[in-house]
Structure 1
Amino acid sequence: MSTFPSRRLALITGASLALLAGCDNSSDSGHDGSTARAATSASKVKVVASTNVYGDITEQIGGDKVDVTSIISDPDQDPHSFEANTQNQLALSKAKVVIENGGGYDDFIDRMLKSGDNSSAELINAVEVSGKAAPNGGEFNEHVWYDFPTVSKVADRIAAALGKADPAEAAAFTKNAETFKDKLAGLEAKEADIKKAHRGQGIGITEPVPLYLTEASGLVNKTPAEFSEAIEEGNDVSPKILQETLKLYSGKQVKALVYNAQTSGAQTEKVKDAAEAAGIPVVPVTETLPDGKDYLGWMTANIDAVATALGK
């Protein structure tokens, strides 16, 4: 069993890099307004994040002193099947700070940085910052943005990187990161409340996306590992494992299904249908920010939905 999932975000082809020169030759219109906007943009720290999750966190810390490009920002996009393009490569070539998840989730960032020869960008890898490793004999759960202690560490690293790029604003970045982390502490308190009321209760999942959150809330994942691993790898689940999973719901062995709505398929829909037929609450989660949400609001909604499903 591999340490990291075998599915990878797709890599930009080397041939497309030749288009970059043409992409970067746009001329200014010469109007005073556009010239001023260009000057303002140029004064900001250019940041590229692999997903809008890290992009939003960076904006909360950097405020109007950062210019953030989030490569994956479509809430309907399955991150595992994403294909990067020349615009992504161009943004990376200009970035002062780059934030990736790591853990095999967004390897295309490293490859594009290498192809674009941007060795000066400061790279923040959330998995490396987390210090987490795969359990003995198990798969590593790379969805570390659902782990608030990790996100707190990442916030500190982002503030430090922005301060290095713009020393005059370093104190402001640090202060913003502290404010952000205070709000994260509020989310951890919500997890503790769930744990106090529901410690040891079983839940089901379709993929390991929410497990850091549910485990911190004291909940026990009852889904067979073979099911969630197959779904995450994009493979079919064996009939035996599928039936074993469905029995969790028909037998009411779990209190809720925490369902990855971003990568649903025929077999996950069967699980969702089984939960609904048994009257077991379904809590949809996603891998990227929904429209109109920031990171803190999104995670607050996720935790509140879990609490409501459990009857808190």
Structure 2
Amino acid sequence: MPMSPSRRLALLTGASLALLAGCGSSSSGSGSDGSTSQGTDSSSKVKVVASTNVYGDITEQIAGDKADVISIISDPAQDPHSYEANTQNQLALSKAKIVIENGGGYDDFIDRMLKSGNNSSAEVINAVKVSGKTAPKGGELNEHVWYDFPSTAKVADRIAAALGKADPADAAAFAKNAETFKTKLKALEAKEAQIKKEHGGDAVAITEPVPLYMIEASGLVDKTPGEFSEAIEEGDDVSPKVLQATLALFTGKQVKALVYNEQTSGPQTEKVESAAKSASIPVVPVTETLPKGKDYLGWMTDNVDALASALNK
């Protein structure tokens, strides 16, 4: 869903080139200071910048050791919606051959900084555009497409194609790695299909739309009042009436699980989590970026398995 103006402003505030060099911090899949890795022949590697470590990790699985990948946001405690980009990010983007952004209003600072850095030659992969996802009639786009495995497969193909264009000698290897990655995604889709077979139609609640694609693919029904999850995502207060309606899902045993975004917790979501636990309704924690020590496939396997486990309790 689109971000509120205040969140978009927060993302863009740090992007000004007037900031002093080194201001803020930059997270990187290859180096925490925003620099590329120092491996052998690093100068010959394809320079890739991803807005989050989700896309950074996918790129690394496809590129192997043929790319230097920087992930701007990689701290699992960081809310991507409120990330303030800095001049280190600007520098990395100015040198990138390939840039991977989520799109859909999620990480607009990428486009702004590319323009400011005069890097019009970088190939930009917009995951939302690649996915083909659009807002439903009368509704808003759910931009969290990395929780949709068919969409992630499309993005993997685009990454492999971009890498192959930048490094033709290794194009076949990139394509092969993408196929291996997509085969593993199919295993995740099979897990969702099994949940759908066993629990199709079961009701769950969420704190934010982050995991909705996974929930829908698993045949589950989101019973959360839209006003609640939308307000939490936008960083707005939830009205007492909407909060009470949400809490009633748990006190009334109307849902079988709560899928909880750990990266944007606050007093209202904590009340919801507490209500779920008090009602002995399982809580399934999810995040927007990779937990430390996990790759994308392992992370998503944990998420799907946790959802299945919660529904089987």
Q: TM-score, normalised by structure 2?
A: 0.92
The match for 1:180 is 181
The match for 2:35 is none
* Deviation, structure 1 residue 291: 0.4
The match for 2:2 is 4
Offset from partner CA, 1:230-276 (integer Å, 9 cap, x none)? 11110000000000000000000000000001100000000000000
The match for 1:16 is 18
Amino acid in structure 1 at the alignment position of 2:18: S
* Deviation, structure 1 residue 39: 6.3
Amino acid in structure 1 at the alignment position of 2:84: E
CA distance in 2, matches of 1:153, 1:215: 19
CA distance in 1, matches of 2:42, 2:172: 21
The match for 1:231 is 232
The match for 1:34 is none
* Deviation, structure 1 residue 139: 1.8
**Secondary structure at 2:103 match in 1:** coil
Is the Cα contact below 8 Å between 2:131 and 2:154 reproduced in 1? Answer: yes
* Deviation, structure 1 residue 69: 0.2
Is the Cα contact below 8 Å between 2:15 and 2:109 reproduced in 1? Answer: no
* Deviation, structure 1 residue 205: 0.2
Is the Cα contact below 8 Å between 1:5 and 1:139 reproduced in 2? Answer: no
**Secondary structure at 1:67 match in 2:** strand
The match for 2:296 is 295
Higher CA-based Rg: 1
Q: How many equivalent residue pairs?
A: 294
Distance 1:286 1:54, change over 3 A: same
Offset from partner CA, 1:75-117 (integer Å, 9 cap, x none)? 1001111001111000001100000000000000000000000
Distance 1:13 1:54, change over 3 A: closer
* Deviation, structure 1 residue 14: 2.8
Distance 1:302 1:38, change over 3 A: closer
The match for 1:258 is 259
5+ residue gaps, structure 1: 21-36
The alignment status of 1:40 with 2:41, answered yes or no, reads: yes
Amino acid in structure 2 at the alignment position of 1:282: V
The match for 1:74 is 75
The match for 2:53 is 52
- Cα RMSD of the aligned pairs, angstroms, is 1.4
Is the Cα contact below 8 Å between 1:46 and 1:97 reproduced in 2? Answer: yes
The alignment status of 1:100 with 2:101, answered yes or no, reads: yes
Name whichever of 5-14 and 118-127 sits farther off: 5-14
Q: TM-score, normalised by structure 1?
A: 0.92
CA distance in 1, matches of 2:39, 2:145: 35
* Deviation, structure 1 residue 140: 1.1
* Deviation, structure 1 residue 10: 1.0
CA distance in 1, matches of 2:61, 2:191: 21
CA distance in 1, matches of 2:19, 2:161: 31
Is the Cα contact below 8 Å between 2:102 and 2:126 reproduced in 1? Answer: yes
Amino acid in structure 2 at the alignment position of 1:257: L
Amino acid in structure 1 at the alignment position of 2:46: V
Distance 1:226 1:59, change over 3 A: same
CA distance in 2, matches of 1:189, 1:241: 35
Q: How does 1:1-312 map to 2 (within 5 A)?
A: 4-6=2-4, 7-8=7-8, 10-11=11-12, 12-16=14-18, 19=21, 37=38, 40-311=41-312
CA distance in 1, matches of 2:135, 2:3: 11
Is the Cα contact below 8 Å between 1:214 and 1:220 reproduced in 2? Answer: yes
CA distance in 2, matches of 1:13, 1:218: 41
5+ residue gaps, structure 2: 23-37
**Secondary structure at 2:301 match in 1:** helix
* Deviation, structure 1 residue 180: 0.2
Amino acid in structure 2 at the alignment position of 1:16: A
* Deviation, structure 1 residue 137: 1.4
CA distance in 1, matches of 2:68, 2:249: 47
**Secondary structure at 1:292 match in 2:** coil
CA distance in 1, matches of 2:267, 2:139: 26
Is the Cα contact below 8 Å between 2:125 and 2:158 reproduced in 1? Answer: yes
CA distance in 1, matches of 2:154, 2:79: 26
CA distance in 2, matches of 1:202, 1:148: 21
**Secondary structure at 1:168 match in 2:** helix
* Deviation, structure 1 residue 19: 4.2
Amino acid in structure 1 at the alignment position of 2:123: E
Is the Cα contact below 8 Å between 2:48 and 2:98 reproduced in 1? Answer: yes
CA distance in 1, matches of 2:40, 2:130: 34
Amino acid in structure 1 at the alignment position of 2:250: Y
